[in-house]
Amino acid sequence: MTNKNRPNILIFVMDTQSVRNMTPYGFDKETTPNLQTIAGEGIVYENHFVTAAWTVPSFASLFTGKYQSGHGAGASFNFLSREIPTLAELLSRTGYQTVALAEVSAASSGWVSRDETDLCRGFEEFIPIFRHGEEINAGSEARPVFKYAEGEDSGSTRAIRLVKEWFENRYDPEKPFFMMIRCTDPHLTVWAPQPFRGRFLPEGVSDHEALEVNQDVYLQCMGLVPNRPGGYMNGRDWEILKGLYDGETACLDHRMGLLFDYLTAKEILDDTLLIITGDHGDLLDRDGFLGHEPLALFDDLLHTPLIVRCPGVVPEATRVSHLVQICDWFPTILDLLELEETAIRWEMQGVSLIPTWSNEPVREFIIAEHQPLLLEAEWFVENDMDYRSWMQSLKALRTLDWKYIWCSDGNDMIFDIRTDPGETNNLIATESSRASAMRKKLEGFLLSIEQRDYGDKLARHYTPYIRNLKTWGYFRELRFPS
């Protein structure tokens, strides 16, 4: 049995999974029965937030304990600088067997990797999980929908198989392990295998009608959805798309249940700090928004699950309402393993979650950031469209009661979360004093941390269209890239 002072650590990231449709978070459909079981054996964090609205900066925060301003990886610099130590490097150095398994899909290949972004630096083994299948078009070539090939199953099926193979062939039971698994089942384009795909669709919806629903982010954001008044998706579209998302979540939950059963049978699960979370969510049911490319820091993007289980280490059947963030795991693990690591702690921006295991709060607020969408500007430049409104910075400060979003174009927002959890009523006109106070607090905090700006250097989509942005000062190409 693993020493409880040095437990195995397994972080399972459900890519693009918000709390919106999960049973432990109050969803009225049984999408996640296996996670509900795990939740009953551990802690559910009701107010866990990521530091950014998409994969690269969120994973960088997970692995470094820093905010986006602190690690510098995001929409303009798609790398994790080698000057910043990672959690995997530390655990490998302290005797952990380290392995990362990351699912690769058509929409998100390479973001969580050692090659393109260096997010997985420090893992002794990196195992890519390729998602096979074919793309079919529904009505328009601009709207590809991923369809599983005959006899194929979701990428998470391969993920669980590869995890089992690793334990059977390469796991050293004499050493604790640190494993990270990333599955992209809930990521657009959403089209789960049966029986999950049809289980949550509105009654009477056929595959043909479901295929016709827009899943193209740009068409929705620009008001160009074909055959829809105003160019935006209608209520039935959203209900169908939500049903497809629910099917993806249920499919992944089923696969995760198979993994938990396997680890239980191998007598591994109870010796493991199991951390289940999401790197961001998606925006649904808002005109002008879809997915996580849009210019936004709403809670639908930032509020993701955090369920933790480790018998004898964390309490069972517990719900924690205190604010926590994805960057808090590095300092938590340092404290759990009783590692000094003074140089790492000096720059740490997250906070240890161990006090929350005794229901003590650890932070007054959370921070999230969004960089100008260089990656998305390519689409606008290529189509000769005005992209200036998209080239904005956003920064958010959120307490349990209020949320303030600073916008570089001056159109700031503030929301009363208690009465308006959907963030639909911007109170900036009547709450300007409160917004000013929150802006000053946000500014003071960001000035207090070590910030990094590496310029603009992209791992992908590095095309002439991007270079054109240099003319207007939106793209700052490094002369001597590090």
Give start and end residues of each alpha helix (H) in 47-154: 55-64, 68-71, 87-93
Percent of the chain with pLDDT over 70: 90
Q: How far apart are alpha carbons 474 and 377 in whole angstroms? A: 10
Q: Which of 160-164, 342-346, 474-478 holds the top average pLDDT?
A: 160-164
Across 152-166, 181-195, 245-259, 451-465, least confident range: 451-465
Q: Domain spans of the chain?
A: 8-357, 367-472
Tens-place pLDDT, residues 385-427: 777 777 889 999 999 999 999 999 999 999 999 999 999 999 9
pTM strictly above 0.85: yes
Backbone dihedral region of 352: left (phi > 0), alpha (psi from -120 to 50 degrees) or beta?
beta
Tens-place pLDDT, residues 28-57: 999 999 999 999 999 999 999 999 999 999
For residue 93, what are the CA distances in angstroms to 47, 123, 382?
A: 32, 10, 46
Q: What integer pLDDT is reported at residue 147 of this predicted model?
A: 45
Amino acid at site 284: L
Q: What integer pLDDT is reported at residue 430 of this predicted model?
A: 98
Span 438-457, mean pLDDT?
92
CA atoms within 13 A on the CB side of 443: 8
User: In the predicted model, is pLDDT for residue 22 greater than 60?
Assistant: yes
pLDDT band of residue 231 (cuts 50, 70, 90) is very high
pLDDT band of residue 137 (cuts 50, 70, 90) is very low
Nearest to 285 by CA among 422, 104, 441, 433: 422
Q: Name the class of domain 367-472.
A: alpha beta
165 versus 186: which is more confidently predicted? 165
Q: How far apart are alpha carbons 118 and 99 in whole angstroms? A: 14
- The CATH classification of domain 8-357, taken from the options 3.40.720.10, 2.60.40.10, 3.30.1230.10, 3.65.10.10: 3.40.720.10
The answer to whether domain 8-357 and domain 367-472 are alike in fold is no
Q: What integer pLDDT is reported at residue 131 of this predicted model?
A: 62
136 versus 190: which is more confidently predicted? 190
Integer-rounded Cα Rg, in Å, for the chain is: 22
Span 195-224, mean pLDDT?
92
- Average pLDDT value for the chain: 89
Across 11-25, 110-124, 239-253, 428-442, least confident range: 110-124
User: In the predicted model, is pLDDT for residue 142 greater than 50?
Assistant: no
Span 429-450, mean pLDDT?
97
Span 329-333, mean pLDDT?
97
pLDDT band of residue 136 (cuts 50, 70, 90) is very low
